[in-house]
Amino acid sequence: MNRVILNTFLAGCVILSACQKKQAPPNPEVPVNLMKLKPKQVQYYDKYPATMRALNQVNLLPQVTGAITGVYFTEGTEVSKGQKLYEIDERLYQAAYDQAVANLRVSESGLVEAQQDADRYVYLNKYNAVAKQQYDHAVITLEQAKSTVQASEQAVKTAKTNFTYATVYAPFTGTIGISQVRLGEVVSPGITTLDSLSSDNPIAVDFIINEKNLLFFEKLQRSKNPVDSLFTLLLPDNSLYKGLGKLSVIDRAVDPQTGSIRIRLVFDNNERLLRPGMSCQVRVHNQDVGPQLVVPNKAVVEQMGEYFVYVAKDTLIKVSPDSLKKMDKKAAASANKPKLIAVQKKVQTGQVIGADIIIKSGVKAGDRLIVDGLQSLHDGVRITTANKVGPGGGRGGRGG
C-alpha cells in the first residue's frame, strides 16, 4: 500500500515538472518587422462611380392620330436638326386644312358684303334717309362678319398645325434609337412613343459626392485657372478615356437624407465612344501638395470605425540587484538595457493607393512602424526584430 502511494506521488511530480517546463516564459517578446516612416511625393485619384447622360434627350411623341406612312432615317445613326423622321397619314389633315381655307374665303366674302351694306346705311343715316332699325342691323351684321372671319382664320391655323404635325422632324442633332413603331402602325398622342433622340457630343457624366467635399468642387468651379488633367474617366472595361472632363454643374441642393450632392462633368465625345446610360468611374486628381506618409495598408488596424497603427518605442526596465543575482549570465547581460515595446497610435487615414494607404495624422516621419506580426500585439507588449516575420503577418488593413 505504501509502495502504491509512493509511486503515485512520484508520477505526479514528474507530470508537474513536465508541465512547468512547457510553460512559456513571462512577457515573451513578439517578433515583428519594422518600417521607418519617410515622407514621399505621391500621385493618386479620388474615384467616384458615375453615369453618362445626354445633355439633350427627348422622346419623340406623335401630336396627331393616324397610321405611320413613312420612316425616313436609319436606326442608331446620327440625324440632323430639322431632318424628316416620320410621316403620319396626312390625308385627313390635308382635307381639314383645305376645308378651313375654303371656309375662310366664304367668311371673307361675307365680310365684304356686310361692309358694303354698312357703309351704305351709314351714309343714308346721316341724312335720315333710312330707318334706324335697318341701320342698326347693318352695323351688327358687319361686326358678326368680322368675328366669323377671325374664327375662320383660327380654324385655318389649327388645321395647318395638325397638318404640320403629321410630319415629325428632329428637334436637334443627335443619335436616334431603335424605332418603336413600324409602317402602317396607328399612333395616338399621349399613348405612343415613336423613338428617342439624344445628343452625344459633348456628353455629361454625373456622380455623387459627400457634402464634406462640396467646398473643394465649389472652389474648382470658381477658379479662373482650372487644373489640367484634373478629371479623367475610367470606362466599364477599366480602360482610361483619352479625353479630359470639365466641371459643368453643381446641383442646386444637398440631399438632407443622405448628405450628398450631384456633380456634372462634360467630356468631348468626338469618336462617339461614350453613350448615355453607360457606367464609368470619375477620377479626380489629388490636389495635395508636399510629401505624404505612405504605409502598407495591412499595418492599419480598424476598431469600431477608428484606425490605429503600432509603432516601436525604446523603454528601459530596471532590474533590482537581487533579481540580477537570480538570473543566468545571458539574462543578466541583457538586463537594464533598452527594450522595444509596441505602442498603439490612433491615426487619420487618407486615400488608399493599391496595397498602401496615406496617413494624414497620428504618426510622424522617423517613427518605426510595425508592419508584420500584428496578430499578437497589444499596447505595451515587448517586441523583437531578431526573428523576421514573413509577409502577411498583419491583421489590419482597410478597404480601398
Dump pLDDT digits (tens) for 42-69. Answer: 777 788 999 999 999 999 999 999 999 9
The dihedrals phi and psi of 143, each to the nearest 5 degrees, come to: -65, -40
Is 151 a residue whose pLDDT tops 60? Answer: yes
H helical segments located in 54-131: 91-126
Tell me, what's the pLDDT at 122? 80
Q: What is the sign, positive or negative, of the torsion defined by CA atoms of 131, 137, 143, 145?
A: negative
Q: pLDDT tens across 258-275, in order?
A: 999 999 999 999 888 999
Cα three-residue angle 62-66-69, rounded to 5 degrees:
95
Is 26-42+291-384 assigned to CATH 1.20.1630.10?
no
Residue 298 CB neighbours (<10 A): 20
Listed residue (375, 371, 395) closest to 385, CA to CA: 371
CA distance 258 to 344: 34
Tell me, what's the pLDDT at 352? 80
Lowest mean pLDDT among 146-150, 169-173, 181-185, 332-336: 332-336
* CA atoms in the 13 A half-sphere facing the CB of 308: 16
Q: Tell me, which fold does domain 91-165 have in CATH?
A: Helix Hairpins (1.10.287)
Tell me, what's the pLDDT at 12? 54
Q: Tell me, which fold does domain 47-56+199-285 have in CATH?
A: Elongation Factor Tu (Ef-tu); domain 3 (2.40.30)
What is the domain partition of the chain in residue ranges?
Answer: 26-42+291-384, 47-56+199-285, 62-88+168-193, 91-165
Tell me, what's the pLDDT at 21? 47
| 389-400 burial code (b ≥16 CB/10 A, e <16) | beeebbebbeee
Which numeric CATH code is attached to 62-88+168-193? 2.40.50.100
Tell me, what's the pLDDT at 335? 55
Helix (H) or strand (E) holding 217: helix 214-222
Tell me, what's the pLDDT at 15? 53
Tell me, what's the pLDDT at 224? 75
Q: Is the peptide bond before 39 cis (omega within 30 degrees of 0)?
A: no
Tell me, what's the pLDDT at 52? 95
Q: pLDDT tens across 360-372, in order?
A: 889 999 999 988 8
Lowest mean pLDDT among 54-68, 148-162, 305-319, 344-358: 305-319
Is 178 a residue whose pLDDT tops 90? Answer: yes
Q: pLDDT tens across 334-343, in order?
A: 555 667 888 9
CA distance 161 to 151: 15
Tell me, what's the pLDDT at 227? 63
Q: Angle, to 10 degrees, between the axis of helix 132-165 and the axis of helix 91-126?
A: 160
**Band (116; pLDDT cuts 50, 70, 90):** confident
